[in-house]
Amino acid sequence: MTTAKRLIVSGRVQGVFYRQWTVNEARALGLAGWVRNLRSGEVELLASGPEEAVRELIRRCHEGPPAATVEAVRVEDAEPEPGAGFEARPTL
């Protein structure tokens, strides 16, 4: 079953390779979507694909790359966006 989730990750998550790490992890899991920094200092991402793979990405996002300090991950249901692949987007 395909699902889509929107995540807001807070903590020390900008300037620590979090966006590119997320792209690498999502692509390895075969997910579609995007990730971007927010001016608030948080990272936002939308991931869609097989439910188990999306759950695994959410689990990994609680840890993040080695230099990150993740304080919280908010997860919301989302509508999948058209397109394939997973990309980093500019800061919003």
The CA distance from 37 to 45, in Å, is 9
Set 6, 12, 19, 59: catalytic member: 19
Whether 37 is a known active-site residue: answer yes
Set 27, 37, 39, 89: catalytic member: 37
**Does residue 19 contact residue 43 with C-beta atoms inside 8 Å?**
yes
The CA distance from 52 to 31, in Å, is 11
Whether 24 is a known active-site residue: answer no
* Catalytic residue annotation: 19, 37
